[in-house]
Structure 1
Amino acid sequence: MFEIRVICDRADADRITTSLNTLFATGAVRRSPSRTAGLERLYVTADHRPDPQTWPTPEQAYADAPCIADEIGWTVCVAGDPESCAELDREYFLRKAAVFDRIALSGDPDIPYGSDTETAHATALYLMDLDHASVICDPRAYVRQQYAQWTKNQ
């Protein structure tokens, strides 16, 4: 995340703001007069927009995934093993986040904020924290991207 400061003619401020919104994921634009007459200062908090090609659809990400029941069984087995619990690795948290994402996707699309969706979102955030991911995106899209890369490398 970064901040952009633009000093421009007042007449160009809206056009510049629109251009910045097209190029970056931006916050609210703060405007203030410039010290030079007729000019305006624009301050915008921004971040890079993620490349849309890096975010696979759920169908693409989970095309080669085992069935949900098998993945639940695997995560329960690993979590229940006292030796593996001491050192749960990234694979465990990735597969757990992916299975919760798949469960939420199989739910009722008319209920976008049910407990399945909230659990999928929370486990996705945990994976992003574990990875120290500094991207701004939907956490569940991040899980799909990471899962697709992981299955490709298996």
Structure 2
Amino acid sequence: MFEIRVISNPADTDRVTTALREAFATGAVRHSYTRDRKRHIVYVTADHRPEPVAWPTPQQAYALAPSIISEIGWTADRARRHLNASDVDREYWLRKAALLDRMALDDETARLHTDVPVVALGAALRLLEIDCSGDGQYSGDPYWPEHPASVADPRGYVRQEYAAWAKHQ
């Protein structure tokens, strides 16, 4: 663990702390001013980020999942009962994103060129959006929704969250 001290213009302080959080595992951020009170001094305790952890494989994530046909029925029924999309909960989007991910994986394995991977990505992005809203229902283990790895691979994030959700069902 180490401490970083940065002297910056007040307008740049947020960008500096964001960049430090992206580069390191950071602790609390403390602010003070230089003697002339024109610049900020930012103190951050930091450590190197742990090595990246791999996403669960599809086999691991969907080991406890019902059949694709069963999940299609569940999502269709839930969508029918909640015609207003704002009424559906996180479970709906998680299961829908997982269903579409499984279908996309099947298409990719069969080397079919369909739009299912694009639709799966859209559902995964919707789940990330819901989880980023701060409702706190996501597992975040190992990656929370705002993590760069989650943003880079939303379908991997779906597998992580589905695996955690399925363990508790």
TM-score (norm 1): 0.63
Superposed CA offset, 1:61-111 (max 9, x none): 000100001001000001101488662110000000000000000013485
Tell me if the contact between 1:78 and 1:85 (Cα under 8 Å) persists in the aligned partners: no
Q: Percent identity?
A: 42
Matching residue of 1:127: 127
Map 1:109-148 onto structure 2 (within 5 A): 109=109, 114-132=114-132, 133-137=145-149, 138-148=153-163
Counterpart amino acid of 2:19?
F
Rounded to whole Å, the distance in 1 between the matches of 2:92 and 2:124 is 12
Matching residue of 2:19: 2
Where does the alignment leave 5 or more consecutive residues of structure 2 unmatched? 1-17, 26-48, 133-144
Counterpart amino acid of 1:108?
E
The Cα shift of 1:153 comes to 1.1
Tell me if the contact between 1:120 and 1:140 (Cα under 8 Å) persists in the aligned partners: yes
The Cα shift of 1:135 comes to 1.2
Matching residue of 2:65: 65
Tell me if the contact between 1:50 and 1:136 (Cα under 8 Å) persists in the aligned partners: no
Give the ranges of 4+ consecutive aligned residues of structure 1 lying more than 2 Å apart after TM superposition: 48-51, 82-87, 108-114
Q: Pick one of 134, 141, 149 that aligns with 2:164.
A: 149
Superposed CA offset, 1:44-70 (max 9, x none): xxxx677315x2100000001000010
Rounded to whole Å, the distance in 2 between the matches of 1:82 and 1:125 is 20
TM-score (norm 2): 0.58
Where does the alignment leave 5 or more consecutive residues of structure 1 unmatched? 5-19, 25-47
Number of positions where the alignment pairs a residue of Structure 1 with one of Structure 2: 113
